Chains A and B, each alone.
Chain A
C-alpha cells in the first residue's frame, strides 16, 4: 500500500538527489522548486548542491537571485555561529567542564559538508548532567536569560527532558539549548551519556586554542543523535534534517569501519529504530550510498504490515516539504499523526495526559 499513485518525493528532494534535473525545468517549475526549498529552509543547501554540480547557470535570473541571497545568508549564519560559540567559550572556560557542540553548530565548527548552505536557529551544547547547574549559572552570569518563566514548563524541562529550558542572550537575542543527553529520558531510550562524552572528539579547527574546550560527538553518535532528533520529533523541518543525515552519512561513510561501529552504537544506545528509519529514507529520497548489508538489515528489522505499513505511509508524507505543491489532505493527516506520535514517543501515557491537561487549562499569561 505504500506510496501507490502518490507523489512521495518532492521536486526539491529530486533535484538534491540529481542536480542535473534542473536542466529541464521551466519557469513555473523553478517557482515551485524555490518555494519548496525556501519553506524547507534548504535554499542555501540547494545553492551549494547546484554549484557543486556546475548546474547553477540553469537557474533563470529571478530564481538565481533567491539562491544567491540564501547562500549569502548561510555564510552570515556560519560567521554568527562561530561568534556565538566564542561567547559560550568565554562564559564557560573557567569551569573546566567538557562541552560538546551538537547539531548545526557542530557541523559548522567541525567544517562538515552538512553545514554547507545551512542556516541555524539556535546553538545546542551538551555537558555532563552533574555539571548542568554550574553551567547554567555561568551562562546566566554571562547574560543569557531563560526564555520560559512559567513554573510548570520550567519544572517539566528539568524533570523530564534531555535539556534545560532554552536560554536567550539578553543583547544578542541568540538562543542556546543546554543538553545533558541526546534523547528525552521519558522516551524510554536512555543512551549512556558518559559514553557519548568519552567518545566525543576535539575540533580540528585552526582556532583550537580558543575553541579547544569544545568537542563534537563521534561520527557514529552524531548520526544517531541526528536520526533520533528527526524521528522522535514532529518533522517541522523533516526534509532538512533528513538531508543533514544524508550529508553526514556520505561524509563519514567512506571509511568502511564507520558502518560497523554505527550499527554497534545503535544497538548500545537503543537507537536502532531511528537509525533504520534514517537509512531507509535517506536511500529512498537522496539515493545515499548505504552499504547493501545495512539496507538488508533495515528490511529485516521492518514489519511491512499493520503498524509498520502505517509508519511507512506517515513518514513518506511527513518528510515532504511544507509547501502547497506537496500539501494534499493525506499529507495534512500524516503531519497530524506525526505530531501525535512525537508526543507519544517522548512520554509515557500517564505523563502525557498530565502534560496535555496542564497545557489545555493554563491561562495564557
Chain B
C-alpha cells in the first residue's frame, strides 16, 4: 500500500509452534497475530498464502463490493468472468491473459462503491487439477509454479502474471462485459445473452459482502449490470471460446 509507512495488515505464513517445525511440519496463516484458519502441511504454504490474502480482502475491503469473479481489461474496458468453482473461470482467465488481456484478478472483483470501477489485485493465477496442464500447453512462455498435489481443492499451481499487469495494478477499469462461463468436457460452443435481472440475482450469489453492505451493494451491483453486456458461455475447449470472447467484445468496441 502506498502511504509512507502505514501498514494495513501484517500477514505471515509460519509454523504454528516449535514442535510443528520438525514433526509433520505445518504452516499457519496469521493476520495481525491471529489465525483465521487451521494450519496446513508445510508444502502447501503458497496456496495458504493465497487463500489467506483472499480472506483478508474479502472480509475487510468493505469500501468495495467483493465479487467472486475474474477480471480482465482491454482498451480501458473490463470483462468479468463469474462462475461457481470448477466451471473453468481461472483457466479461461489464464487463456485471455495469454491472448493479451490485462489481468486485474483471477478470483476477486473489487468493485469500488464510489466509482463503479474495478480495483486490480494482480496476483498469480491459481489453477487447479486438469487446468494446470491445459494452461501449460498454451506455450513455453507460460511460467507455472511447482504443483502442490494434495490440497483440499485438489492439485494447485500458480501462473506468473504478466509484468505489465503487475506494473499497472493501480489502474482501475470500468466494467463493460459480464460473462458466466461454463466448461464441460467435450461440450459445444453456445453463447447467449442473459437477462439483466437474472444476471443481477446470479451475482448476488457471487458477492461476499452483499448482505453486509446493504443498499450500497444493491446500487453498486445494479450499476455493474446496467453498464455491462451479459452473456452465458458454454464451451468444451479454450480454442472454441477464446475467439468467441474476441468477437463478443469487439462487436461494440469502437
Of A27-35, A50-58, A286-294, A337-345, the stretch lying at the interface with chain B is: A27-35
The complex places the Cα of A26 from the Cα of B3 at a distance, in Å, of 12
Of B6-14, B139-147, B186-194, B229-237, the stretch lying at the interface with chain A is: B6-14
Question: Which residues of chain A have C-beta atoms less than 8 A from B213's C-beta?
Answer: 76
Per CB-CB distance, the 3 closest pairs between chain A and chain B, nearest first, are: A27-B5, A324-B33, A62-B3
Residue of B5, B34, B63 ringed by the most chain A CB atoms within 10 A = B5
Q: Is B214 an interface residue (CB 8 A)?
A: yes
Q: Is the interface of B mostly helix, strand, loop or mixed?
A: loop
Q: Is A65 an interface residue (CB 8 A)?
A: yes
Within 8 A of B (CB), among A299-313: none
Interface size for A (C-beta < 8 A) is 24
Docked-complex contact A322 and B5, CB < 8 angstroms: no
Q: Is the interface of A mostly helix, strand, loop or mixed?
A: helix
Instruction: Scan B8-35; emit 1 where CB is below 8 A from any A CB, else 0.
Output: 1110000000000000000000001110
Q: Is A189 an interface residue (CB 8 A)?
A: no
Docked-complex contact A31 and B62, CB < 8 angstroms: no
The complex places the Cα of A76 from the Cα of B217 at a distance, in Å, of 13
Question: Which residues of chain A have C-beta atoms less than 8 A from B62's C-beta?
Answer: 69, 72-73
If the complex has contacts A69-B62, A69-B63, A76-B214, are A27 and B32 also in contact, measured as CB distance less than 8 A?
A: no
Q: Is B201 an interface residue (CB 8 A)?
A: no
Within 8 A of B (CB), among A43-63: 60-63
Beyond the given A73-B62, A324-B33, could you list 8 further A-B residue pairs with CB under 8 A, ordered by the A residue number? A27-B3, A31-B5, A31-B7, A34-B8, A35-B10, A39-B34, A66-B8, A323-B32
Could you list 5 A-B pairs, sorted by A, with CB under 8 Å? A26-B5, A31-B5, A31-B8, A62-B2, A323-B32
Shortest CB–CB separation between residue A161 and chain B, in angstroms? 27
The complex places the Cα of A30 from the Cα of B7 at a distance, in Å, of 8
Closest residue of A by beta carbon distance from B214: A76
Question: Which residues of chain A have C-beta atoms less than 8 A from B4's C-beta?
Answer: 27
Docked-complex contact A61 and B33, CB < 8 angstroms: no
Question: Which residues of chain A have C-beta atoms less than 8 A from B32's C-beta?
Answer: 35, 38-39, 323-324
Question: Which residues of chain B have C-beta atoms less than 8 A from A30's C-beta?
Answer: 6
Docked-complex contact B33 and A62, CB < 8 angstroms: no
**CB < 8 Å neighbour of B5 from A28, A38, A66:** A28
Shortest CB–CB separation between residue B168 and chain A, in angstroms? 21
Q: Is A250 an interface residue (CB 8 A)?
A: no
Shortest CB–CB separation between residue B237 and chain A, in angstroms? 40
Residue of B3, B4, B32, B214 ringed by the most chain A CB atoms within 10 A = B32
The complex places the Cα of A72 from the Cα of B215 at a distance, in Å, of 12
Q: Is A327 an interface residue (CB 8 A)?
A: yes
Q: Is B251 an interface residue (CB 8 A)?
A: no
Shortest CB–CB separation between residue A122 and chain B, in angstroms? 16
The complex places the Cα of A309 from the Cα of B226 at a distance, in Å, of 65
Closest residue of B by beta carbon distance from A172: B211
Question: Which residues of chain B have C-beta atoms less than 8 A from A62's C-beta?
Answer: 1-3, 6, 8
Instruction: Scan B23-65; emit 1 where CB is below 8 A from any A CB, else 0.
Output: 0000000001110000000000000000000000000101100
Question: Which residues of chain B have C-beta atoms less than 8 A from A28's C-beta?
Answer: 5-7
Question: Which residues of chain B have C-beta atoms less than 8 A from A63's C-beta?
Answer: 6
Question: Which residues of chain B have C-beta atoms less than 8 A from A38's C-beta?
Answer: 32
Closest residue of B by beta carbon distance from A79: B214
Docked-complex contact B6 and A31, CB < 8 angstroms: yes
The complex places the Cα of A322 from the Cα of B32 at a distance, in Å, of 9
Closest residue of B by beta carbon distance from A326: B33
The complex places the Cα of A65 from the Cα of B112 at a distance, in Å, of 13
Docked-complex contact B3 and A322, CB < 8 angstroms: no
**CB < 8 Å neighbour of A61 from B3, B5, B9, B60:** B3
Closest residue of B by beta carbon distance from A39: B32
